[in-house]
Structure 1
Amino acid sequence: MKILKQKQVLAVACHEIKGQLSSFTYWTIILWPLLIAAIFERSGNIHLDLSTSNHLNLNLFWGNFLPIFIFMVSLSYVSIMANSVAADKTSKISEMLLAMVDAKEQLIGKISATYCLMLLHMTIYAGLIYIYERVTHGFIVQTIIRNTSPVFFVYIVLDAAVALFMALVWATEIASYVTDESQVAVAIIPVMLLIGTGTAVSFLFNAPHYFDAGISVMRVYANVVLAFPPIGSLLMPTLLANQNVGYGEAYLNIVIQLVIIAWLLKQSVRQYRFGLLSSKKANPFLAVLSHENTGNSKENKR
């Protein structure tokens, strides 16, 4: 693969950010969770026992919250990414862009823009939570932060970033084969089924002492399975929160996932390039699985 052209990546990212900030969809994914939170807060029926004397509840909270958080973030931004790629493809903009910007720069630029949008999203939430707790003299978020290790927070950020990256790459790859905007859901559903399955399974792992101390067949098997992204990004935080694995094991899992992602990204760029130029009317997901972008295709030689 050619060396990444940073100026082109920046240009694509800026174009994508500008487009999303002016779209209704982006602001909707920010507002609807706030509406749900306001309804729960208004009902007064939700109470979290996260007192400093109850670390078990805090561990279970993280074990349940993190997979749901990763799932919801992935669902929101995978939808945005798939719609963006499909809109460029169906309007023929992607073909013109390929004449100026290679598929690799387009793919990395769009993903970089998504991370910037998500950072803005989380910053808005953090600011609103801070204001809410100051006004209501709340203590829940303060208690969570005070009783959670900074190393764990660093891991959460890295883990969520890895999971989202893989979800975006797959969604973009499939969406590049969309020939009609009605097919966008087909690009989203396979990715979300995989992440949704990992989220559901993570609840089964959300218990202290799930693994026995030392090396066991189940522990070795789980680590092999969790090495494949984004499965590890969904299940490992739950295991770490409940102290079933250590930080060394958790961070090693991220490193292994990044190595796998680097290899998958190389394949995905070729698929993305071929998909943008393909006009074949077929199921986008099946088109990706068929591996139509063989080494003999002219598009892959560009």
Structure 2
Amino acid sequence: MSNYQLMAIAKRVVSKQLKSFSYLSMVFLPVIVGEAAVYRNQEFLQTLTAKQLSLGLYQLMPGVAAFLCAVYTGVLATEVVADREAKLTEFLLAIVDAKTQLVGKILGTVILLVLHCLSYFLVLLATVVIFKLRLAMVDVKYLVFLLLSLLLLLGSSLIWTVEFGIYIQEREQMALAMLTPVILVITGEILATVYACTPHMFAGMLWFKIFLVVNGWVPALGTCLLPVAVSTQGLSYFWGYFSLVVQVIILVIMFKKVLPKYQRGLLATKQRHPIIKAIFGK
């Protein structure tokens, strides 16, 4: 696996999306809506304490994470399904193996995510300065944990997407490739929102901590719950990182199993995932 080949494939993914109107609209439209909301409510926001404003941002995080997952699982699903129809794929297979192609596509998607998050962070800082809002400094330990969880959430969603996307035969069925990660993310974000809105309600309950740790092992679902559980429900960083490590192990196993399936998918075999067979038959 050549670094040059990886970066070439990643660059192709990034370049393609940066030229896409639909992708750019998904990046800039939330910024426009958010800035308009802040401008309209700036007097109220200026009366909030730093702690109140920070808590409000914590409660928005599940929705932001779900939005980013929806955007980038869609990006990768498009890339994987498009492979089946693109003549360029046959040429690439003669030069680059399937593993390099898949890792390159994931790398390109991750680069887009990092740039997306960085742009939103800079917009947030500019908004705080321009509108003179009081925002508490975020704990560095929590910020690192949050970013790792977000990256792992995306990675989990992408691998789930590839797992189903390699069985998709037509673009019209592409939504099926996103079905599993979307269900897991929506479930996780609903629970995370409940926990964010009820801080410390379950703190100190042993059964609840066991529930959080075990659910934290489930790729995509767990990474939605863990940051909010750490910030509002008293889950320790030790158990949070322990759950993330277990998820990484599970994802590595999934990734190794999905590679041969991806390669067979590029060679246009007519196999289908059992769930897709149940829905469409044949």
TM-score range, shorter chain: 0.7 to 0.9
1:110 aligns to what SS in structure 2?
Answer: helix
Superposition deviation, residue 97 in structure 1: 2.1
Q: Following superposition of structure 1 onto structure 2, how do residues 46-57 of structure 1 map, counting pairs within 5 Å? A: 47-48=44-45, 51-52=49-50, 54=51
Distance 1:170 1:93, change over 3 A: farther
Note if 1:40 corresponds to 2:2. Answer: no
1:180 aligns with 2:170: yes
Residue of structure 2 aligned with 1:222, choices 191, 204, 212: 212
1:150 aligns with 2:140: yes
| Identity, % of aligned positions | 25
Instruction: Answer whether contact 1:177 1:278 (CA < 8 A) is retained.
Output: no
Which of 9, 14, 36 in structure 2 is aligned with 1:12? 9
> 237-246 or 40-49, which moves further after superposition?
40-49
- 1:273-293 per-residue CA deviation (whole Å, 9 max, x = no partner) reads 22222342857952699xxxx
Which position in structure 1 is the counterpart of 2:111? 116
Q: In 2, distance between residues paired with 1:184 and 1:172? A: 11
List per-residue Cα deviations over 1:119-160 (Å, max 9, x = no partner).
222232233333334333x224xx14x2x2111101111000
1:65 and 2:60 matched: yes
How far apart are 1:42 and its partner, in Å? 4.5
SS in 2 for 1:97: helix
Aligned residue pairs total 277
Q: Deviations over 1:52-105 (max 9, x none)?
A: 4x46x744641x222212111000111111112222221233333222222211
Provide the residue aligned with 1:170 in structure 2: 160
Deviation at 1:118, TM superposition (A): 1.6
Deviations 1:245-269 (A, max 9, x none): 1111212221111111111111121
Whole-Å separation in 2 of the counterparts to 1:276 and 1:159: 31
- Please tell me whether the aligned partners of residues 271 and 288 of structure 1 are also in contact (alpha carbons under 8 angstroms): no
- 2:96 and 2:124 mapped to 1: Cα distance? 40
Residue of structure 1 equivalent to 2:232: 242
Change (3 A) 1:178 1:257: same
- Structure 2, unpaired ranges of 5+: none
Structure-2-length-normalised TM-score? 0.86
Q: Give the letter aligned to residue 3 of structure 2.
A: Q
* Cα distance in 1, alignment partners of residues 76 and 234 from structure 2: 35
Q: Determine the structure 2 residue equivalent to 1:232.
A: 222
Structure 1, gaps ≥5 residues long: 290-302
Please report how far the alpha carbon of residue 231 of structure 1 lies from its aligned counterpart in structure 2 after TM superposition. Answer: 1.5
Structure 1 residue 85 corresponds to structure 2 residue 80:
yes
Q: 2:200 aligns with which of 209, 212, 218?
A: 209
Matched, 1:139 2:137: no
Cα distance between partner residues in 1 of 2:208 and 2:80 = 40
Letter in 2 for 1:40: A
Residue in 2 that maps onto 1:107:
102
TM-score (norm 1): 0.81
Check whether the contact 2:73–2:158 (CA below 8 A) recurs between aligned residues.
yes
Distance 1:190 1:47, change over 3 A: farther
Residues in 2 aligned to 1:81 and 1:123: alpha-carbon distance in whole angstroms: 20
Separation in 1, partners of 2:230, 2:127: 29
CA change 1:26–1:245 in 2 (3 A) is: same
- 1:287 & 1:266 partners in 2: Cα distance? 23
